[in-house]
Amino acid sequence: MLKNTFILVFLSIFLISCQTGKEDLKKFTDDYVQITQTLKEKMKNVKKRDEFTAFNEEKTKEYENLLKKYEESPNLDGIEILRSKILLELGKMDEAEPKIDKVLAGKPDAINEAKMIKINILIKKQKYTEAFDIFKEIESEVKDPDDLYNAYFYFALLHEDNRVKKQYSNKFLNASDLPEGQAKNRYFMYSNLAKVATLESDLDKAREILKQGIADTTEERPKLSLEKQMGQLDFIGKKAIPLNANHWINSSPLQLTDLKGKAVVVYFWAPWCPPCRVLLPTIVEEYNKYKNQGFMVIGITKLTGKYEDDEVDKGQVSEEEELKLIKKYMERKNVTFPVVVAKVNDRADLNNYKITGIPTQIFINKQGMCDFITSGSGNIPFLKERIKSMLAE
């Protein structure tokens, strides 16, 4: 009798817990969808750096509050999947990954959704090949267009294999059902295909791809970016353009002609730029590894009259204070390679190299010739391989 009573009590608790979990999952899902949609609408109006900073602060607050609201909810697969998604949005991959791994180990009903989160975590951790292997298992079954084309976007830009880059760039360009938020990224695919053609030493094909991209792009800024990339093709195989800025940190004034015989990366960056901050540790690591083997990095940044980095936000500052803050940031990040700083109105180096965004890396070979130009922080394995290749020449 006592045993039966215990079983009944246990089943009652279990059923109540399941019902509570289902109710929480529905509420959690509704709240997540509403917050995410609101943030997407707000993101459309973000144009300036300070607006982006404010938006990220709001996004962090909204998602952290949402996690807190449902922190006592049962650990059902659906709830853990939502928690993992939000942690991923917050950049907390080390917290998201064990949660989603646990869900995947139980082979949930929503296994493809869980695998998609795992793929995105691996992409954020720059484990592109591992992410791609999982994606190939579920590509034909991905229902959410945003998930599908986000994956296409990242594999096109970041996979180590140029064949994969070309395949997914073309899949993206040929898609007939691109979501509104993804359609604006078509120009990245043209840029990417042109970069691959450049790496394959087919500059004519690169120009042809960029011409097509320029004709296909209506927005002014992306069109300008492709036009400047077209102009950068004229630098390949040519003598590197002399630098103009003249306030040097960590070095007396240098010119690229002084560095013939060395492999050089000219690194356009800024402390306020989040992708630059992602790439900087790798630049520092590679410089320290190879500086005694004929490798040099020259950083180029520019005063803006404002200052912000990952720890400091000073707003408007004088030229003298901004220089001091840049030096402090470099010391904090162990930057010992030479950095040249342009004044607020000095865009000569940016214009000479046709820079439209940072970070941008100019690779200059031992003969002092421009070897390759690339932008963005994502493909760190490529950066490392390119440096090794130039040093081996």
Identify the CATH number of the domain in which residue 109 sits.
1.25.40
- pTM, whole model, 2 decimals? 0.81
**How far is 350 from 358, CA to CA, in rounded Å?**
10
- In terms of domains, do 168 and 260 share one? no
Q: pLDDT of the chain along its 393 residues, tens only?
A: 444 444 444 434 444 444 556 788 889 999 999 999 999 888 888 877 778 888 989 999 999 999 999 988 888 888 999 999 999 999 999 999 999 999 998 877 778 889 999 999 999 888 889 999 999 999 999 988 989 999 999 999 988 889 999 999 999 999 988 888 888 899 999 999 999 999 898 999 999 999 999 999 999 999 999 999 999 999 999 999 898 888 999 999 988 888 999 999 999 999 999 899 989 999 999 999 999 999 999 999 999 999 999 898 898 999 999 999 999 999 999 999 999 999 988 888 889 999 988 999 999 999 999 999 988 876 788 889 999 999 998
Domain boundary (117, 147, 172) is at 172
Q: Which amino acid appears at position 101 of this protein? A: D
Please indicate, yes or no, if residue 206 is contained in any of the structural domains: no
| Assigned domain for 153 exists | yes
- Whether 257 maps to a domain, the answer reads yes
DSSP state of 242: P
d(CA 74, CA 68): 13
Which of 148, 162, 157 lies closest to 187, judged by CA? 157
Question: Do 161 and 35 reside in the same domain of the chain?
Answer: yes
Do the beta carbons of residue 191 and residue 173 sit within 8 Å?
A: no
- Within 10 A of 347 (CB to CB), how many other CB atoms are there? 14
Q: Which domain holds residue 354?
A: 247-392
Kindly give the pairing relationship between strand 360-364 and strand 370-375.
Answer: antiparallel
- N-terminal to C-terminal alpha carbon distance within the chain: 84
